[in-house]
Amino acid sequence: MRTAAHLISVLLALVLIGCTSTTTAPLTPTVVTPPTPTPPGDTSLDIAAEIAANYTRWNEAGIRDYRFALMVGCYCPMNAMMPITVEVRDGAVVTLTDANGVVVALDDPGAGFFMKYTTIDGIYAELTSARFGEADKLTITFDPSYPVPATISADFIEMAVDDELYVGISEFTVVSE
């Protein structure tokens, strides 16, 4: 009983202290705005200029017959086919050969996803498309000998899963008749 009376006394004292506040003005909440982080330098204009400059060099070179190894990495079923050896004549794909040496038909449904990367003109068309222009993260390297992209790494939605794309172009060779 004594403990209950002691507890009631403490609670009553706390209530009375709370009721005798010396503050007469209402409390106003303080709004704290976090500082806006300074974004790193926007490199999208640099990348766009580099793509345009290399595409101009590509067109000026007039290369129409060539071969290269194409690697497309994504969350896609055709990854086992990679790399694909692509042969282009007069600007059009003439043969595709998968990693096992099997010729892939140009109308193969499995080839549908990577066909847009099977010519250098097609790759530049993709790089200048709205899809790549809106990517959250885009990194491109170019072949030191030819105005050809060597690697393309795109993350279209940085916080999403399974939307990344990697395109690698290697062993680029000009084919003469």
pTM passes above 0.75: no
Cα 172–chain centre separation: 24
Q: Say if residue 71 is exposed, middle or buried (CB neighbours under 10 Å; 0-12, 13-18, 19+).
A: middle
Q: Which two tokens stand for residue 43?
A: 């490199």
Per DSSP, the chain holds a count of helices (H) and strands (E) of 4, 6
Closest by Cα among 77, 40, 55 to 132: 55
Consecutive sets of 10 residues in the chain, 177 residues long: mean pLDDT of each?
49 44 44 40 73 96 97 74 94 95 89 90 92 88 96 89 88 90
Closest by Cα among 98, 147, 156 to 123: 147
What does the domain layout of the chain look like in residue ranges? Answer: 63-174
